[in-house]
Structure 1
Amino acid sequence: MLNHHSYYSFKYGVLSPAEWIEWALEEGEEVLALTDINTSAACIEFSRRAREAGIKAVAGIDFCKASERQFIALARDEEAFAEMNHYLSTRLHQDLEAEAEAPLEKAYVIYPFDRAPKRNLRENEYIGLEPKDLNKLRFSPLKNQSSKMVILHPNSFRHKGDYNTHRLLRSIGENCLLSKLPAEKQAPAQWGLLNSRKLKALFSEYPEIISNSERILANCNLDFEFKNYSKSLNRIHYTDSLTGDREIIRSLCYNGLEYRYPNAGPEVYQRLEKELDVIEKRGYYSYFLINWDIVNYARRKNYFYVGRGSGANSLVAYLLRITDVDPIELDLYFERFINLSRRQPPDFDVDFSWRDRADVTRYIFERFPKASLLGSYTTFKYRAIVRELGKVLGLPGRDIDELSRARRQGGKDWDDMQKLVLRYGKRIEDFPNHLTVHASGILIPEKDISYYGSTFLPPKGFPTTHFDMYTAEDIGLHKFDILGQRGLAKIKEAVQLVKQNRPEAKELDIHQVQNFYKDPKIKDMLREGQTMACFYVESPAMRALLRKLRADTYLGLVAASSIIRPGVSASGMMAEYIRRYREPERRQYIHPKIGEILEETYGVMVYQEDVLKVAHFFAGLSLEEADVLRRGMSWKFRERNEFDTIKDKFFQNCAERGYSEAVSTEVWRQIESFGNYAFAKGHSASYAVESYQSLYLKAYYPLEYLLATINNGGGFYSVETYLNEARLAGGIVEAPCINRSEMEAVLIHPQIFLGLQMLKELEEKTAMNILRERHMNGPFENLNEFLERVEISLEQCILLIRINAFRAMEIDKKKLLWEAHFILGNAKKSAPVNELFRNTREKLVLPELESGEHEQAVDEIELLGFPLSSPFQLVPELPEGCIAAQDIAQHIGEEIRLCGYLIHVKNVTTRGQQARHMMFGTFLDQAGHFIDTVHFPPVAERYPFQGKGIYLIRGIVIEEYDFVSVEAKYIERLPYVNFEHA
């Protein structure tokens, strides 16, 4: 049993590793070799599942060139596995296919019968025979080499359905109709499953071949260790020894005490020594020091970063400046991050600016040469399945679109071909489609990564593993999470702009956030939900929550950052938290002990740490056991059966403490419903720090901050919405200008000139030519001179004219268009003219040209995606009787009419037996102020949104804890002017 393909043979195999193990158990197989095509992606997972089932797993790779097998390699031991992976990785990195003969010395190599080398085979090389090759063998010159032959039947398909699925996958891979799939691009139909008994019967005339096959399998003894976190596969020492690591981390921590706690009390020193003791016992000095090394590099480069997640629960991380959250101030449990009972490795999440992340990643790979990016897989999902299967089966586009929209409508009368798509679509749903890169994970192992798997080279240019994060965790490889974030780039660039434009702010230190917590202006912004453009607190839901809570403190914002999460909201705890926050007299606790434990959050579980507190102080579990419970609840690990490991003890302890079954069951229900999506408190606190930095800049330097927001791609809303916010802050938004604009938007107080990169279809090369010429030789004086100095095509020049980029020198766009056509003529491009050879062109005399009232707005919508003037001006006649957004609160309970410009829609499915669709809308009125609407299912179904534009809204004003919104009864998208006659 030397050759099996799983579905990790992408767009080829049809059985998962689990299905292979299930088959082996049914057939009584004791050993099984997994040999996926040009990948070792499944080897570790297959080995884990095989061990759990009591089956011996053999790791192999089927090396193919195009669709033609060259040879199969099987790992005798870890050195052979590393050799196989290194060879495959080298070929993949260089975009080379497998060679006809293997340069492998440690792994077993098996050549197909018809591709056997015409030379003497080495000790580790063999010839593989399929049953169909037996007749050929009798007449082959190789018939006397049975000592170097083994059985090589490719086990691939259980039945015809599997084979049909394989052919469909191959058609998708080859991007051709199933009817046009070449025979050589698909496996032969006879590659069905044959167990070892059937294979031995077929090869009964050749006992030596059978014994050779069995001997090879017996000699393959690669054995991964799973969940053995006492044996680290990661870089063991940051220096060259444990002593060296201990000395450097203690030195850094005690230096950090001077920075973080100038007057540290004994509780700080006790906590520090306790953490260092646990970190040393778990062997994590290197992990902390590598993270310190990375953020230390970032500080040297003046890169902004945020260390978040449960790592913020560590005082050591705070002292090393990996995080900026004080775990003592917030009473954060170190056990949430690391404890002696937690098997899984720690996991720091460090966010960098999206502009800086690439350089940080480059540094990591230069500093730690064995580093690899962590791989991941995209899987087949419904829409992609319908599209791909429909295409290879030759369905018309309309049928594919109908299936895509109709997500498994069982009652639909589909035709035979559509039914075929749905039937086989169910077979391949969630199959791995192709390898990709994990969003943030980097591995830094002690040994070369090839000991655990092969790597490929994605466009990022760094080696990336064929296995994913779950496999890495299985064997104890912990990842370093290096993420990119636009919010940090906004803050960094806003600070730079402030220091350039505001001499009084030269000493601004955005990291001294303690002062921001007490700032009265920021407190007002938080209470009123005036948080547009501010990190993590600008969404409609977050603005509404801030209004309801009237939260204006750091801890209040930390709590809001957590209860907004889906799991907390869906469990009803968000509503309960708001009620208890706003109405102290109505606070009731399921048990007095819960009220005592969760006093800070009014008896409601808000953070992951609250689960630890309740499990520890209420149910009497140790903090280590409580963390097992918390981790077991996570959706990422529930399928690994970790959820039930501690549940029985929870209820047993509750009963011993005299709690009623009803109380224990309700507390468990809250834990269970809450734990899936809750934030660690340190994670929320990290986000809150960044939110305060954004709020401060927005409060005191709004134009600089909003400019940085625009240049970093906006945020929750579109760039247009942030331009409106800039206008409210006193800014004047200008279209791109050839003499004032740069590639990105620039601020020349109070004007904001949009960048040339915002102009759709303007080529980057053209924009760079314009800027380079202007910076070298000064501003342009007129269109004629511009065309003499800048190489540009007529089409590109017309884009600039239509957006009014020449308005400083000529306001008549139509006149400029005529001149551009006259000067460029039929030339594909103008070319810069040497000063000596410039001729004065004949002046073009034009009659008076007329322009439509809305012509500029029409051009702006086409070229920028939105008008720079008010979109309300594009409605021929606005309805009468509409009130302004600022007056809505005066009409609680009344029916009103409003006009709003749609900027965001949130779609929601109601809970219950009959789930229905409802929506929340966010609009701007003519003054640029928010209108929030709710559309319950009957209204959502009868009056759906019809895209961007101005809407007439009729509805009832409702209020919930100071948050005012409109329950829509009717909406209508108002028509714009006829652009053809604009």
Structure 2
Amino acid sequence: GKLQAKAAIRDVGRVLQMPYGQVDRISKMIPANPANPVTLQEALDTEPRLREERANDPDVARLIETALKLEGLYRHASTHAAGVVIGDRALDELVPLYRDPRSDMPVTQFSMKYAEAAGLVKFDFLGLKTLTVLDRAKDLLAKRGIKIDYAKVPLDDPAVFDLLSTGNTIGVFQLESSGMRDMLRKMRPDAFEDIIAIVALYRPGPMENIPTYIRRKHGEEAPDYLHPKLTSVLKETYGVIIYQEQVMEIARTLAGYSLGDADLLRRAMGKKIQAEMDQQRAIFAKGAKENGITQKDASHIFDLVAKFANYGFNKSHAAAYALVSYHTAYLKANYPVEFMAASMSLDLNNTDKLNIFRQDLERMKIPVHPPCLNHSEVEFSVEFEGDKGAVRYALAAVKNVGREAMAGMVAERTENGPYKDLFDFAHRLNPRHMNKRQAENLARAGGFDTLHGDRAQVFAAIEMLLKQAQQSEEERGSGQVNLFGGAAEVAVAKPTLPTVARWSATEKLKQEFDAVGFYLSGHPLDAWAKTLDKAGVRSSVSYLAGLGAAESAATLAGTLMAKRELRTRKGKPLAFVQLSDSSGAFEVTMFSETLDRYRDILVVGQSLVLKVTGNLDNEQPRLTVQSLQRLEALAANITDGVRIFVDDDKPLKEVASILKAGGRGRGRVALVLNMERDAREVEIDLSSSCNISPEVRDALKSVSGVVDVHDI
């Protein structure tokens, strides 16, 4: 790495033993521009305060003069993350080498520029996570007997272009940002060349040409090829210069450049060195004149090409990226279940990304089955019933369970068959592979549901099950035999599971959220669907999808997931609040007045109804809360009544007492009794109407034995 202006000032100041505060102040006078770092001389030319400091303080003058001499020198050795150089003989015969202590590979002592001058060719080998996604999807398809060869995938599949044109590109390489999806919907690509252009255009600089490209593609504007001779060069991009190769072809076509000279022109334009630009302009004008092009036209075209060349993208690079984009889009369009499972496996520990994938699966109407000890794999897998596919949630994606522990359980299941019940699991578990926290999180996520359906009871039994696992392991290790001899396995008596109240639906979802990172089997707002519909509440996904630059208002509902309070520069409180509804997660901003008014109800897990205004700011949604209230308070005014779900008659007396204390009202009440033996439910309407206030609803939900309370 080379010494840049700020670093040179700081290093020299340290050597000169100048006060840190003084050196820091001088350093901060140098403008920061990471994309195009300012030199110390440029800073002196443009920053009067820096010149004043140098003129008034001999120590600062010495600091700056020394830094000017050192700027640009190599500060330390660094290795290119992906650069590999290739020569026509042993490298130590061509360039000096040294051994990087952090690597086993030798490294050239020459920088990229000088290594090239010494006759070496440099290649960048970039590791790409998406290639692993493609490979895993291929393996999942092979398990269904479907063989796919990406080299033979047709590049004109209508399903791919339909997918791209709708902007449904979550998980598609390079094409999944909100801005990119919006661009795809406007462009409606219908050829592979469009994808190449998209990859090259969607970057700072070229982005300003996107509207022109789209208008010309759809025939709303005539292409401008700059000169008739350039039609063949610019036809595929509708007259918009996109690629560096087009710069080189323009030079060859109009001014007779050789390939090598055209590459020198491209480099000169990219560097913007005035002396080189003036030299190239003269060469270009001379060659163009020999081809019958006027000096005026040649100069105009040279200026247009020079403007582009500053940010032009290499088409061969864009094509390579576009091919990976196409292959991922091909999988999503034709084999969405395998593609999504493979994509999710590469983001096992990123719950935010997993939730985005889950929402996308929901949009595609592809079920996500919960984690399961008897059906899940370590990573995400697929399950099919006929033509209907589903993604099975990965065991290792549950929070804090550990990949190695899950791999051990899956290996045991593969070798000795499915687990029969909780005690069979405990008997076969290696206790060194799982601790209490891991087992509890599996229970909260529903991992034991096929062995025992009551999550609260499983959660309460974890410590007992782990003790049983330890006992079984000790007995196996001691070589004990049973009474009848021969068998090494010892039959262990099944203890009784602890008796605890079932988790209510709300509590079950809360525990699942804590273990998975989002709501998987349902959402707390599901029970309020009719109330939300009556109140005109919109889903967050539909509202966010329609946001633009102009401000719009909406009523949203969400369960509070997290809150972060800050202070503005003026010292006023400000909060960023994260919520989720059944369609996805969203964030709102609350300013001081609103925050002070509603702070008491901003509790994690609380469901709220919010009136918001929002718009897009730099393609990011910005939502501001105008007012909010507890969802229960809204429901009290508009609900027709409630259904109270119970497992038996034990809670009925307490339920009746709460309803009586609440008084009469207009709310209908129905009791729904779960008849486990007959696998059915019985619903009984109460004869009197009751007051279903937020307090009454909260009290009903807290009754032991009440499974859930839903709106009618």
Deviation at 1:798, TM superposition (A): 1.9
The answer as to whether partners of 2:4 and 2:71 remain within 8 angstroms in 1 is no
Count of aligned positions:
536
Q: Of 875, 881, 888, which aligns to 2:536?
A: 881
The answer as to whether partners of 1:513 and 1:692 remain within 8 angstroms in 2 is no
Mapped pair 1:545 → 2:183? yes
Q: In the alignment, which residue of structure 1 is the partner of 2:217? A: 581
Change over 3 Å in CA distance of 1:553–1:896 after alignment to 2: farther
Spell out, residue by residue over 1:774-815, the C-alpha distance to the aligned partner (whole angstroms, 9 max, x if none): 222222223333223222322322222222211111122221
Mapped pair 1:499 → 2:142? yes
Q: In the alignment, which residue of structure 1 is the partner of 2:435? A: 793
Mapped pair 1:843 → 2:496? yes
Q: In the alignment, which residue of structure 2 is the partner of 1:161? A: 13
Change over 3 Å in CA distance of 1:957–1:654 after alignment to 2: same
Q: In the alignment, which residue of structure 1 is the partner of 2:594? A: none
Q: Secondary structure at the match of 1:811?
A: coil
- TM-score by length of structure 2 reads 0.62
TM-align CA RMSD = 5.3
Q: In the alignment, which residue of structure 2 is the partner of 1:598? A: 234
Q: In the alignment, which residue of structure 2 is the partner of 1:735? A: 370
Deviation at 1:158, TM superposition (A): 14
Correspondence 1:796-815 to 2 at 5 A = 796-815=438-457
Q: Secondary structure at the match of 1:443?
A: strand
Spell out, residue by residue over 1:726-776, the C-alpha distance to the aligned partner (whole angstroms, 9 max, x if none): 233333213322222222111122332222221232234322332232222
Spell out, residue by residue over 1:197-236, the C-alpha distance to the aligned partner (whole angstroms, 9 max, x if none): xxxxxxxxxxxxxxxxxxxxxxxxxxxxxxxxxxxxxxxx
Q: Of 765, 772, 776, which aligns to 2:415?
A: 776
Q: Secondary structure at the match of 2:324?
A: helix
Q: Of 377, 380, 397, which aligns to 1:745?
A: 380
Q: Of 506, 516, 522, which aligns to 1:854?
A: 506
Q: Of 718, 724, 738, which aligns to 2:353?
A: 718
Correspondence 1:193-272 to 2 at 5 A = none
Deviation at 1:464, TM superposition (A): 4.2
Deviates more, 1:971-980 or 1:617-626: 971-980
Deviation at 1:659, TM superposition (A): 6.3
CA distance in 1, matches of 2:351, 2:254: 40
CA distance in 2, matches of 1:827, 1:719: 32
CA distance in 1, matches of 2:471, 2:287: 82
CA distance in 1, matches of 2:418, 2:33: 55
Change over 3 Å in CA distance of 1:435–1:973 after alignment to 2: farther
Q: Which amino acid aligns with 1:760?
A: K
Deviation at 1:513, TM superposition (A): 3.0
Q: Which amino acid aligns with 1:529?
A: G
The answer as to whether partners of 1:611 and 1:675 remain within 8 angstroms in 2 is yes
- TM-score by length of structure 1 reads 0.46
Q: Which amino acid aligns with 1:771?
A: V
Change over 3 Å in CA distance of 1:622–1:510 after alignment to 2: closer
CA distance in 1, matches of 2:258, 2:407: 63
Deviation at 1:671, TM superposition (A): 2.3
Spell out, residue by residue over 1:527-581, the C-alpha distance to the aligned partner (whole angstroms, 9 max, x if none): 2223332223332222222222222112222222222232311xx3223222222
Q: In the alignment, which residue of structure 2 is the partner of 1:897? A: 554
Q: In the alignment, which residue of structure 2 is the partner of 1:196? A: none
CA distance in 1, matches of 2:235, 2:587: 33
Change over 3 Å in CA distance of 1:970–1:820 after alignment to 2: closer
CA distance in 2, matches of 1:724, 1:699: 17
Q: In the alignment, which residue of structure 2 is the partner of 1:758? A: 397
Change over 3 Å in CA distance of 1:875–1:955 after alignment to 2: farther
Spell out, residue by residue over 1:429-481, the C-alpha distance to the aligned partner (whole angstroms, 9 max, x if none): 99977655423222344225487344335666444455543442243322233
Q: In the alignment, which residue of structure 2 is the partner of 1:37? A: none
Q: In the alignment, which residue of structure 2 is the partner of 1:554? A: 192
Q: In the alignment, which residue of structure 2 is the partner of 1:867? A: 519
The answer as to whether partners of 1:781 and 1:809 remain within 8 angstroms in 2 is yes
The answer as to whether partners of 2:95 and 2:109 remain within 8 angstroms in 1 is no
CA distance in 2, matches of 1:459, 1:602: 49
The answer as to whether partners of 1:956 and 1:967 remain within 8 angstroms in 2 is yes
Q: In the alignment, which residue of structure 1 is the partner of 2:326? A: 692
Spell out, residue by residue over 1:879-899, the C-alpha distance to the aligned partner (whole angstroms, 9 max, x if none): 943556679789999955375
Q: In the alignment, which residue of structure 2 is the partner of 1:364? A: none
CA distance in 2, matches of 1:871, 1:545: 32
Q: Of 628, 633, 658, which aligns to 2:264?
A: 628
Q: In the alignment, which residue of structure 1 is the partner of 2:151? A: 511
CA distance in 1, matches of 2:471, 2:307: 64
Q: Which amino acid aligns with 2:95?
A: Y
Q: Secondary structure at the match of 1:767?
A: helix
Correspondence 1:143-182 to 2 at 5 A = 161=13, 163-164=15-16
CA distance in 2, matches of 1:701, 1:442: 36
Q: In the alignment, which residue of structure 2 is the partner of 1:218? A: none
Q: Secondary structure at the match of 2:124?
A: strand
Correspondence 1:440-479 to 2 at 5 A = 440-445=82-87, 446-449=89-92, 452-457=95-100, 461-465=104-108, 468-479=111-122
CA distance in 1, matches of 2:469, 2:75: 48
Deviation at 1:584, TM superposition (A): 4.2
Deviation at 1:611, TM superposition (A): 0.7
Q: Which amino acid aligns with 2:137?
A: A
Change over 3 Å in CA distance of 1:527–1:434 after alignment to 2: same
Deviation at 1:604, TM superposition (A): 1.2
CA distance in 1, matches of 2:17, 2:109: 24
Change over 3 Å in CA distance of 1:833–1:776 after alignment to 2: farther
User: How high is the sequence identity, in percent, across the aligned residues?
Assistant: 27
The answer as to whether partners of 1:857 and 1:867 remain within 8 angstroms in 2 is yes
CA distance in 2, matches of 1:767, 1:734: 17
Deviation at 1:717, TM superposition (A): 8.1
Change over 3 Å in CA distance of 1:842–1:489 after alignment to 2: closer
Change over 3 Å in CA distance of 1:841–1:437 after alignment to 2: farther
Q: Which amino acid aligns with 1:538?
A: E
CA distance in 1, matches of 2:314, 2:11: 48
Mapped pair 1:611 → 2:611? no
Q: In the alignment, which residue of structure 2 is the partner of 1:679? A: 313
The answer as to whether partners of 1:495 and 1:510 remain within 8 angstroms in 2 is no
Change over 3 Å in CA distance of 1:466–1:816 after alignment to 2: farther
Q: Secondary structure at the match of 2:554?
A: strand
Q: In the alignment, which residue of structure 2 is the partner of 1:818? A: 460
CA distance in 2, matches of 1:668, 1:431: 35
Q: Secondary structure at the match of 1:625?
A: helix
Change over 3 Å in CA distance of 1:474–1:858 after alignment to 2: farther
Change over 3 Å in CA distance of 1:898–1:495 after alignment to 2: farther
Change over 3 Å in CA distance of 1:785–1:736 after alignment to 2: same
Deviation at 1:512, TM superposition (A): 1.9
Change over 3 Å in CA distance of 1:700–1:160 after alignment to 2: closer
Spell out, residue by residue over 1:270-295, the C-alpha distance to the aligned partner (whole angstroms, 9 max, x if none): xxxxxxxxxxxxxxxxxxxxxxxxxx
CA distance in 1, matches of 2:19, 2:620: 55
Q: Secondary structure at the match of 2:518?
A: coil
CA distance in 2, matches of 1:673, 1:716: 43
